[in-house]
């Protein structure tokens, strides 16, 4: 197993453990240390991010790193900025808690 596979496998494991949770419109924090945290955020049809690429949503400008996108049964680990956010997706985010909570409003 390559070094970069270990974080990917850990992310996929975290996401799959949460599969039974219905689509959330708010964040679900998996880990928080100080002002930073990892959260799983559900994307609704009405979310402003729906249909946009990660680059155009502006996550990086807010200091939010998207670690993975869960699309149905598929997981896209460390997605590129050209990846499109779809309604029903879950985003595994890392960043300042205040910034992550603001993307769900």
For residue range 16-75, what is the model confidence (pLDDT) as tens digits?
555 444 443 445 777 778 889 898 988 888 888 889 999 999 889 999 999 999 999 999
Q: Which residues are within 8 A (CB) of 77 and not within 5 positions of it... i.e. 6 or more apart?
A: 7, 8, 11, 12, 67, 68
Number of neighbours of residue 81 by Cβ within 10 angstroms:
12
Residues 77-90, mean pLDDT to the nearest whole number: 94
Contact yes or no for 35/96 (Cβ under 8 A) = yes
pLDDT of 6 higher than 90: no
pLDDT tens digits along 93-104: 999 988 887 775
Could you tell me where the beta strands, DSSP code E, fall in the chain? 27-33, 36-42, 65-71, 74-77, 90-96
The pLDDT value recorded for residue 54 is 93
50-78-29 Cα angle (round to 5) = 70
Range of the domain at 15: 5-102
pLDDT of 14 higher than 60: no
Strand, helix or coil at 45? coil
- Against a cut of 0.85, is the pTM above it? no
The domain total for the chain is 1
CATH number at residue 79: 3.30.70.1450
Dihedral sign (CA 77, 80, 81, 84):
negative
């Amino acid at each position: 197993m390559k070094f970069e596979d270990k974080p990917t496998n850990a992310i996929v494991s975290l996401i799959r453990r949460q599969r039974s949770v219905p689509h959330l419109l708010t964040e679900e924090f998996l880990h928080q240390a100080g002002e930073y945290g990892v959260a799983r955020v559900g994307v609704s049809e009405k979310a402003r991010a729906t249909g946009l690429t990660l680059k155009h949503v502006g996550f990086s400008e807010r200091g939010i790193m998207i670690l993975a996108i869960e699309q149905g049964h598929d997981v896209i680990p460390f997605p590129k900025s050209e990846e499109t956010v779809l309604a029903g997706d879950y985003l595994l985010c890392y960043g300042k808690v205040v910034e992550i909570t603001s993307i769900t409003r």
